Structure 1
């Protein structure tokens, strides 16, 4: 009579699976409890690029529509935009140095001054060229 050999079981036991799932659950809770990953510098840059796009849109609108376009910022309430259109809110923590009004004229020129955004010690300045209306973004590293 032949002896029946017992093969070693392959795979994982139920206990091993439960332990792995518990560890993954704990790691997931730790990651989620930290909240969304944010970069203050990145948020400031994104806000500045969004505002620069709004300024360029204001310039192009003034040229195409052949009438002045007013671009306004509100430091106290944290928004910016063109008059007659919905305003855009700045991301949390990004602030304006002061209230600024720029007027884009049909010939492409602009009346106004620079706009400064900041978050903590980091600053970004947006400047519109008075003659051409072109917008430049300059990061001021502390």
Structure 2
């Protein structure tokens, strides 16, 4: 026959299990309360891709509709978009260097300059070629 001390060494008590579950629950609450994990670099790249797509859409719209299309950015309110369409808001933390207005022409050309997005020290520059209207993306990593 086994002694009482030998029986106790074989498993966990109910109280020990409850304490472990409570600690795991507290750790889970702390982790979940932080919200979703975000990558600042990824958010900057996603914003640049969205803006690049909108700029290319503006160029194609100008060619198809045979009329100039205006593409604007607003640094203080953190939005961009084409005239006559809903604006797009930048993700949290992604900023514009300054207000920019680009005009896409029916021949595919564009007047305007580069657009710079940044988050912290990371920068992405979108440049539209004046003759062809094609948009290139340059990432400047510190």
* TM-score bracket, shorter-length normalisation: 0.7 to 0.9
Q: Which runs of 4+ in 1 moved over 6 A?
A: none
* Residue 23 in structure 1 maps to residue 44 in structure 2: no
TM-score by length of 1: 0.86
SS at match of 2:102: strand
How far apart are 1:23 and its partner, in Å? Answer: 3.1
Instruction: Give structure 1 stretches of 5+ with no counterpart.
Output: 1-7
SS at match of 2:48: helix
Find the counterpart in structure 2 of residue 103 from structure 1. Answer: 103
Deviates more, 1:63-72 or 1:33-42: 33-42
Paired with 1:117 and 1:55, the residues of 2 have a C-alpha distance of: 14
How far apart are 1:57 and its partner, in Å? Answer: 0.5
Paired with 2:111 and 2:45, the residues of 1 have a C-alpha distance of: 24
SS at match of 1:86: coil
How far apart are 1:36 and its partner, in Å? Answer: 2.1
Q: Aligned-pair RMSD on alpha carbons?
A: 1.9
Instruction: Give structure 2 stretches of 5+ with no counterpart.
Output: 1-6
Matched length: 134
